[in-house]
Amino acid sequence: MSEHPLDPIFHPRAVALVGAPTTQSNWGGGFLLSILDIGFDKERVYPVNPKTNELNGLRCYPSLLDTPDPVDYVISMVPAHVVPTLVDQCIAKKIKAIHFFTAGFSETGDERMAEMERTMVEKLRGAGIRAIGPNCMGLYVPDGGLAFNRGFSKEPGNVFLLSQSGANAGQIINGLQRRGVRFSKAVSFGNGADLKAHDFFDYARTDPQTEVVIAYIEGIQEPRKLIDAIKGCAAVKPTIILKGGLYPAGARAANSHTASLAGSRVIFESLCRQAGAIRAETMNDLLDLTVAVTTGTRKVAGTGVALVGGPGGFAVLSSDAIAAEGLDLPPMPVDVKEKLREFVPVAGTSVNNPIDAHLRPGEQFEDGVKAIAGAPGIDVVFSTTYGNEAMPRGGDSDSDDETPPEEREDLAKKHAQEAAEALVRLQDETGKPFVIVQRDQGWMPNASSAYPLAAYEHGIGVFSDVPRAARAVRLMLEWRRRREGLPEIF
Amino acid sequence: MSEHPLDPIFHPRAVALVGAPTTQSNWGGGFLLSILDIGFDKERVYPVNPKTNELNGLRCYPSLLDTPDPVDYVISMVPAHVVPTLVDQCIAKKIKAIHFFTAGFSETGDERMAEMERTMVEKLRGAGIRAIGPNCMGLYVPDGGLAFNRGFSKEPGNVFLLSQSGANAGQIINGLQRRGVRFSKAVSFGNGADLKAHDFFDYARTDPQTEVVIAYIEGIQEPRKLIDAIKGCAAVKPTIILKGGLYPAGARAANSHTASLAGSRVIFESLCRQAGAIRAETMNDLLDLTVAVTTGTRKVAGTGVALVGGPGGFAVLSSDAIAAEGLDLPPMPVDVKEKLREFVPVAGTSVNNPIDAHLRPGEQFEDGVKAIAGAPGIDVVFSTTYGNEAMPRGGDSDSDDETPPEEREDLAKKHAQEAAEALVRLQDETGKPFVIVQRDQGWMPNASSAYPLAAYEHGIGVFSDVPRAARAVRLMLEWRRRREGLPEIF
């Protein structure tokens, strides 16, 4: 496998943090703690700050030029006016890449600062040094020991995230990681003065670790290159793009934020359409679509939904929500209804899809769900959960239990694994994708997330409510329809 | 004040629970525990079940006829086939009202059971006894000692809820109570065989404790009476209605659930429009609109939003979300921008609305927000929060602290009260409603809910994210515009 020119950036051998603040908080200045937490070899992490000799147990150097050789990656936290000096030091130090957390350049609208941004990039590129930013959070590489927030998972995955915004990158990573998604790499690239969206799409397309590419972008820099890069990427990997600044107010905000000139909604929608990428309209869309394309939800073949879960009022509103997305709830045929009535009491239930009935775990559930999934017109089964599949004996979380907390957790994980495995078996046997829909956590605030996580790990899409699950399925269907003629990637 | 004929139903002197199960769980059979929890005088609670002599420390009677006199309210948990016998006993016992948790009547589609439902209602009404249900959860009356789920607040409030579905009633009560809303009364009335939606709208209209009426209904029974009752109610009190079964699939589910014949969306929308009520399209709408009409959010005068809160990527997507609802973000005039730049650094911020800047609590925040709220075209200020206003020194929740947990909680409440009071002062001084928008809880999972709750108690609308806050404001504006010519209720 040939190496991509950007590969070394994602896997530096040594990192210098120039201008590392003497107090480390989780926000902004927390790079040092973040990369120590995620496991970068601390022998090769060099904080630089003339005001102290030690930071978090590491030797702190007065200047970049005083750090040991080699340093191939620099994180710049110095103020903007110090950047020209730092650039000269980086060239002298022969580094490979620099990430500018430093802000205050073109995004301020100040022409002198925009000029300084152009000059620093030209100088660096002349020396063969690539820059990420300025005005961004930089890299998260689980197996490269890089992170920009504490709490990012060490476990690498298959999703590549590129985001102009650092805060949105953090929100996306946290939001998806809580749902079980793991990342190959993520990059927040801010103003994109040197490396731009198209560079990262291009890298993600060729990166063997990456199977899915997701993006938050604000501006369109070098439109032709960007379109080509998105096209190339979306042709071979599911590619999901959330675009900020689609309305004039958002565009003005994007301009202040990352100096971006945002395009119109219509142009961007047609760009995604032509490229075979999918446009997420909201942050929730981006999260839900990522879950959908990394699970069996991407394979749903048609609009027929079976909804298994009550009680009645929930089933009524859920049916409306499914219909509002243009999906169907085909009624169950007589033989399936009769089958279900063998173990579902008549009072307070319905077996006609929605199946407003509590199918008890075990044989009942398996037989019932098999019959439902096999019914004519059913393409996907929505199975609702309070999360209590992870509880011993399927009981609710309020029950007193003398088991010590750590054993309870292990037990919950074991039960969750078993329940997820049972669902996957059913999915395989029936050949219909299953989707798990979580119920309002307010009902069971202590319910474990073990079951949804185990289900996701087994390739089952998990969504927070019926409207979002229905929307994810609808968007998947539309996307697949639009991609006809393009190479098969699902 | 004259008494409404339904008053005694909401304030019974003694309650018999007939068919109370010998094991009490929180779901379904938990009525006994729920009414004991909420404080009904336990000397006047009579469980009835021939299989035991005692239930939860209370004497259990073999039959309703064996209970002490008087009993004016019965909760029926017996199976449907036992109902005719129970009805005779109720008449002999001279009760005033009965709530049938018992299901299995007209909603099953079985004509014999529908006939049994009609017969039992006729017999009861002949004896002057009113019925709630069947197939429902009945009453929640905080100051009457009635409840149907554990954990419902004892504190009475000003919102009346009527809901055909018991599960949805529970979700609405829990969902709103977590946000600080309190209820005058709530009723889940299921099939509405005797008392129907129009009876409860009529009661809510006249109930002096009730200032806001919210409803979840599935079917339209006696359309003329329902329309008149909604009209009467909406003319004098804000009235919000969520209708289930608006799509064919939902309507089929509603028919199985509460024997309801659901109408079309168009008819229902026009009914609400004519009546001056507001139609909630989703459960989230119902919750958000309730918060809006019980706070200053109902007074927002126009579409001009000032958004205070970063960071940048959040501000960009929020601006798009605000614009998507048809609201505006008027740019700040030069003098306000100059004022803000006195304490907002240039790098990584924007002061042009959205105001992507961290205004530190205290004078900075107050001066900044006053200037923003006073700018031309601003009708409402969206102020974002991570919930850390309740933290000592405005610090984040990860910080170690030696303060014992109970003192920390008291301190959090105190800080939250102070922050809420400061916001109300600013609102009063500027004459512009403020709205609080909560940030992703994943960032600060331990952040206290004390600040949002304190703010709600001070009459400030609190919403979970910008899209929902913007939607609530837009729906309020539309509603007020439509109500022109009707009596002023806001």
The DSSP secondary-structure symbol of A325 reads: T
C-alpha triplet A177, A180, A183: angle, nearest 5°: 55
Biggest alpha carbon distance in chain A?
Answer: 80
Strand A183-188, strand A138-140: pairing: antiparallel
pLDDT recorded at residue A401: 53
Using alpha carbons, list the distances in angstroms from residue A126 to A88, A92, A192, B343, B381: 12, 13, 17, 38, 48
pLDDT at A193 over 70: yes
pLDDT in tens, B105-141: 998 889 999 999 999 999 999 999 999 999 999 999 9
Of B246, B250, B311, B239, nearest in space to B277 by CA: B239
Phi/psi for B27 (5° steps) reads -105, 125
B442 touches chain A (CB under 8 A): yes
Interface test with B, best of A217, A316, A355 (most B CBs within 10 A): A316
Of B173, B354, B360, B424, nearest in space to A248 by CA: B354
pLDDT recorded at residue A395: 44
Q: Which of A18-32, A191-205, A298-312, B267-281 is predicted with the least confidence, judged by mean pLDDT?
A: A18-32
Interface of A with B in 32-71 (CB under 8 A): none
What percentage of residues in chain A have a pLDDT greater than 70? 92
Alpha-carbon distance B363 to B383, whole Å? 16
User: What does the pLDDT average to over B392-400?
Assistant: 46
Alpha-carbon distance B412 to B448, whole Å? 7
pLDDT recorded at residue A397: 44
Q: Which of A56-60, B19-23, B24-28, B213-217 is predicted with the least confidence, judged by mean pLDDT?
A: B24-28
Interface test with A, best of B320, B344, B437, B443 (most A CBs within 10 A): B320
pLDDT recorded at residue A269: 84
B329 touches chain A (CB under 8 A): yes
Structure tokens at B325: 């609802």
B278 DSSP β-pair partners: B240
Distance from CA of A218 to the nearest CA of B (A): 8
- Contact residues on chain B for A356, CB-CB shorter than 8 A: 253, 256-257
pLDDT recorded at residue B442: 56
pLDDT recorded at residue B251: 85
pLDDT at A219 over 90: no
pLDDT recorded at residue B209: 96
pLDDT recorded at residue A462: 96
- Give the DSSP H/E element, type plus range, for residue B98: strand B97-100
pLDDT recorded at residue A398: 43
**Which residue of A lies nearest to B219 if distances are taken between CA atoms?**
A316
pLDDT recorded at residue A439: 82
Distance from CA of A418 to the nearest CA of B (A): 25
Give the sign of the dihedral formed by CA B399, CA B403, CA B404, CA B410: negative
pLDDT at B378 over 90: yes
pLDDT recorded at residue A413: 85
B282 touches chain A (CB under 8 A): yes
Question: How does residue A178 score in pLDDT terms, banded at 50, 70 and 90?
Answer: very high
Judge residue A357's burial from the number of C-beta atoms within 10 Å of its C-beta, 0-12 exposed, 13-18 middle, 19 or more buried.
buried
Distance from CA of A121 to the nearest CA of B (A): 19
Q: Which of B163-177, B298-312, B405-419 is predicted with the least confidence, judged by mean pLDDT?
A: B405-419
pLDDT recorded at residue B398: 43
The whole-chain average pLDDT of chain A stands at: 89
Q: Which of A160-174, A311-325, A382-396, B236-250 is predicted with the least confidence, judged by mean pLDDT?
A: A382-396
pLDDT at B26 over 60: no
Distance from CA of B165 to the nearest CA of A (A): 5
User: Cβ(A426)–Cβ(A373) under 8 Å?
Assistant: yes
What percentage of residues in chain B have a pLDDT greater than 70? 92
Chain A to chain B Cβ contacts (< 8 Å): 211
Task: Please tell me chain A's helix, strand, coil percentages from 3-state DSSP, rounded to the nearest 5.
Answer: 45, 15, 40
User: What does the pLDDT average to over B417-441?
Assistant: 90
Most confident of A93-102, A351-360, A441-450: A93-102
- End-to-end distance of chain A based on CA atoms, in angstroms? 23
A187 touches chain B (CB under 8 A): no
Interchain proximity A350–B175, CB inside 8 Å: no
Q: Which of A433-442, B305-314, B475-484 is predicted with the least confidence, judged by mean pLDDT?
A: A433-442
Question: How does residue A394 score in pLDDT terms, banded at 50, 70 and 90?
Answer: very low
Interchain proximity A256–B166, CB inside 8 Å: no
Question: How does residue B258 score in pLDDT terms, banded at 50, 70 and 90?
Answer: confident
Interface of B with A in 164-183 (CB under 8 A): 164-171, 174-175, 178
pLDDT recorded at residue A28: 47
- Contact residues on chain B for A256, CB-CB shorter than 8 A: 312, 350, 352, 356
Interchain proximity B443–A356, CB inside 8 Å: no
Alpha-carbon distance B476 to B490, whole Å? 11
- Contact residues on chain B for A248, CB-CB shorter than 8 A: 323
User: What does the pLDDT average to over B227-251?
Assistant: 92
Angle between helices B197-206 and B223-236 (to 10 degrees): 20
Using alpha carbons, list the distances in angstroms from residue A86 to A74, A79, A99, A133: 10, 10, 12, 15
Distance from CA of A134 to the nearest CA of B (A): 10
pLDDT recorded at residue B347: 67
Question: How does residue B388 score in pLDDT terms, banded at 50, 70 and 90?
Answer: confident
Strand B130-132, strand B138-140: pairing: unpaired
| Residue type at position B335 | D
Structure tokens at A171: 């929100």
pLDDT recorded at residue A211: 97
Question: How does residue B389 score in pLDDT terms, banded at 50, 70 and 90?
Answer: confident
pLDDT at A392 over 60: no
Interface of B with A in 196-235 (CB under 8 A): 216, 218
pLDDT at B444 over 60: no
Question: How does residue B214 score in pLDDT terms, banded at 50, 70 and 90?
Answer: very high
Q: Which of A35-44, A72-81, A305-314, B353-362 is predicted with the least confidence, judged by mean pLDDT?
A: B353-362
Interchain proximity A317–B283, CB inside 8 Å: yes
Distance from CA of A440 to the nearest CA of B (A): 8
pLDDT recorded at residue A168: 94
Residue corresponding to tokens 């995230």: A161
pLDDT recorded at residue A12: 96
From the list A247, A320, A467, which residue is nearest B324 (CB)? A247
- Residues near B175 by beta carbon (within 8 Å), at least 6 away in sequence: A440, A442, B283, B287
User: What does the pLDDT average to over B201-210?
Assistant: 97
Distance from CA of B69 to the nearest CA of A (A): 32
Question: How does residue A173 score in pLDDT terms, banded at 50, 70 and 90?
Answer: very high
pLDDT recorded at residue B24: 60
Using DSSP's 3-state secondary structure scheme, residue B77 falls into coil
Higher pLDDT, B239 or A485: B239
User: Cβ(B434)–Cβ(B381) under 8 Å?
Assistant: yes
pLDDT at A347 over 70: no
User: Cβ(B448)–Cβ(B412) under 8 Å?
Assistant: yes
pLDDT at B399 over 60: no
pLDDT recorded at residue B306: 96
pLDDT in tens, B146-191: 999 999 999 999 999 999 999 999 999 999 999 999 999 999 999 9
The DSSP secondary-structure symbol of B208 reads: T
- Contact residues on chain A for B102, CB-CB shorter than 8 A: 347
User: What does the pLDDT average to over A412-438?
Assistant: 91
Question: How does residue B219 score in pLDDT terms, banded at 50, 70 and 90?
Answer: confident
From the list A216, A247, A323, which residue is nearest B248 (CB)? A323
Higher pLDDT, B115 or B449: B115
B269 touches chain A (CB under 8 A): no
pLDDT recorded at residue B13: 96
Distance from CA of A194 to the nearest CA of B (A): 19
User: What does the pLDDT average to over A90-118?
Assistant: 95
pLDDT recorded at residue B109: 86
Alpha-carbon distance B255 to B119, whole Å? 20
The DSSP secondary-structure symbol of B359 reads: P
pLDDT at A459 over 80: yes
**Which residue of A lies nearest to B265 if distances are taken between CA atoms?**
A320
Using alpha carbons, list the distances in angstroms from residue A287 to A147, A283, A303: 20, 6, 21
pLDDT at A306 over 60: yes
